[in-house]
Amino acid sequence: MVRLPENTQGAYTGGAITVNKYNIAVIGSGCGLMVMEAALAHGQSCALVEMRDMGGTCLNRGCIPSKMLVYPADMIRYAQEAEAAGLSYPPPEIDFAKIAGRMKRQIRVSKEIEQSLAEVRNLDVYRGIGEFTRPGAMKVTGPEGEEELEAARFVIAAGARPFLPPIPGLDTAGYITTDSFFGDKFPDRPWDSLAIIGGGAVAVEFAHIFSALGTRVTLVEKLQRLLPAEEEEISAFVTESFIRSGIAVHTSARILSVRMEYGQKIIESENMETGERSVVRADEILTAAGIRSNADLLHPERAGIQTNPRGFIETNAYLETSAENVYAIGDVNGKFPFRHKANYEAGVLSGNLYGNGRIEARYDHVPWAVFTHPQVSHVGLTEREARDRGLRVFVGRNYYSDIAAGIAMGFSKKRPGNGFVKIIAGEDRKILGVHIAGPHASDLIQEGTLALMLECTLDELEATIHPHPTLSEAFAEAALV
């Protein structure tokens, strides 16, 4: 049974199932918690439905636990590259149990969130899978059986799950996803060899992590290049760095089959450009070929909620779905699968529901950050996207080796991996896109994000005082075009 909040609109019993009524129901405890908090602050009765651990993908199976692994990998790579600054280190002693312990302790914050929610007034927490039964009503199937609820408003923040490519033999041979990796498939030690299916942000992040920890890593990507959402020169920059680090990269690769052979997992693929066939042998296979929306689990069609051909819930600029008083935020709507985007949408929606105004969600300045080695980030248009729109553009670049901070870090024009900032601007000199590759790219991109949001010009960016000597000076230098 669930605890009725003090200001619940009402409840009635139909047969053996109790139906509780609320002002708002939130599906998903990632970014959905922000809307829930806003609703509770305004005296609303609230239902929270969660089928997995509290905190959503980011806390439990994504951004945060992965960064607990990325940081040690970064330190290993920096030590290997320190010779450029006059330092040499022996190979590190890796305490993988300690690394894993730090990560798992951070994931356990989910339990603290759940415990704290148990004491919140006007809130009922439903543990299980929610399904719409009709407009305004949902059934939740969980450990306590089936429970039904109705709400005047629904906020769907149900997230997404790894997409599993239909590859012959994959199920039989076995594989892991980020979901199972951060669950029951987490290894006791780094694998000797790992094959990663995919070439996007998750794939290159895990390639960096395990390659640095000593695993022999192979990336198998169907598209022509890694990180297809990035500038082509940044994709090439990362690929070259991977090859120098011993990571094997197979692009334009159509996987023909997966099988087990003598205790190893075998991927057979064909290069779609040359027809050449390759065989990859690995102890484990990580599938990182994108995500699919969790919307299908909710049966949105029963509530009149439209999804696009890829299964993501369609929303307008106000995050409204096709059903009245139903909203969708985060990964479930398919607009940039990032927690920072999801939090932004939660803030916009909370303000529209409980604030004094009504604003549209904007997506033209959503930053991307990929925590591989080297780090990469971008915001706005790529050069190709701008030119494909028929725009005349200015393109400015500045390399880390051209500024004092980069020189101090050991970068030079002759050194492989020389980081850079690239700026795309329109004919009116307004900034259209910023792209960064190199150390601290994920931090540096915020200046580019602000520049896009404020519609800055190259001249305004160049005139901005940047502290010296810092990597941020690369922005001012790149704007001199």
Catalytic amino acids? 468
Let me know the angle formed at the C-alpha of 199 by 28 and 416, rounded to the nearest 5 degrees. 125
Q: SS3 of 179, please?
A: helix
What's the token pair of residue 405? 């901070």
Strands (E), 35-156: 46-50, 123-127, 129-134, 137-142, 145-156
Let me know the angle formed at the C-alpha of 312 by 52 and 180, rounded to the nearest 5 degrees. 35
Distances in Å between the Cα of 458 and the Cα atoms of 112, 229, 475, 477 are 47, 24, 9, 10
Q: How many CB atoms lie within 10 A of CB 450?
A: 14
Q: What is the DSSP string of 222-253?
A: SSSSSSTTS-HHHHHHHHHHHHHTT-EEE-SE
Q: Give the integer Cα–Cα distance in Å for 469 and 334.
A: 40
Q: How many CA atoms are closer than 13 Å to the CA of 478, on its beta-carbon side?
A: 28
Q: How many CB atoms lie within 10 A of CB 440?
A: 18
Q: Are 464 and 449 in contact (CB under 8 A)?
A: no
- Which residue type occupies 438? G
Q: How many CB atoms lie within 10 A of CB 468?
A: 11
Q: SS3 of 98, please?
A: helix
Pairing between β-strand 291-293 and β-strand 284-287 as defined by DSSP bridges: unpaired
Going by C-beta distance under 8 Å and a sequence separation of 6 or more, which residues neighbour residue 108? none
Going by C-beta distance under 8 Å and a sequence separation of 6 or more, which residues neighbour residue 271? 250, 252, 253, 254, 277, 278
Q: How many CA atoms are closer than 13 Å to the CA of 7, on its beta-carbon side?
A: 12
Q: Are 388 and 402 in contact (CB under 8 A)?
A: no
